[in-house]
Amino acid sequence: MYKIFKVTVTHEQASALFMEQKDPSRTWPQYVLYVAHLARVSESSEHRIIDNIIKHAAPKNKHMMLIRLDPNRFDYVAHAQELIAWGQELEDDRKKAKYLGRDVIAAVGELRKIEPRGATGHTKRDHPNQLTHEGGRVSSTTKNTVCPGRRNQYGLWG
């Protein structure tokens, strides 16, 4: 069955396909499979897989991939997959560094309750005409204390 649908690609066609840019809709693992299949079909050297991956890598990662490249390895497909996994880790680490600390900030919850008047943590100075528990007006010493948000049995803010 495989021989019925076998496609032969010449070295010239393979060279043209290897020179094309990576399709942005493809993920890197899909691209490795595509390039590996292209090398297998065209009977090209598998070393071209690594060359093509490094060539089309992001400019930030290209230099680091060249440093990480081991020219003495002969399992080119596995080495290409390792380079791509390492490059994706670098990109993920950069994204995490961008949002560093936001997870800690998001974990801190808001403990204040919304008061009946609609304002969070309103104070007694917002209610100057209300009486205190003792029946007098709100004094200057109690003006800035926070209301607990409920009324006592006399209908006064406590």
Are 76 and 17 within one domain? yes
Whole-angstrom distance, CA of residue 92 vs CA of residue 56: 18
Are 122 and 95 within one domain? no
pLDDT score recorded for residue 142: 45
Buried b (16+ CB within 10 A) or exposed e, 57-96: beeebeeebeeeeeeeeeebbebbbebbeebeeeeeeeee
4 assigned to some structural domain: no
Residue-wise pLDDT tens digits, 56-80: 777 777 888 888 888 888 888 888 8
**Could you give the percent of the chain with pLDDT greater than 90?**
0
Are 101 and 132 within one domain? no
Domain termination residue (choose one: 64, 88, 106): 106
Range of the domain at 52: 11-106
Are 130 and 90 within one domain? no
Are 137 and 89 within one domain? no
pLDDT score recorded for residue 103: 58
Are 61 and 138 within one domain? no
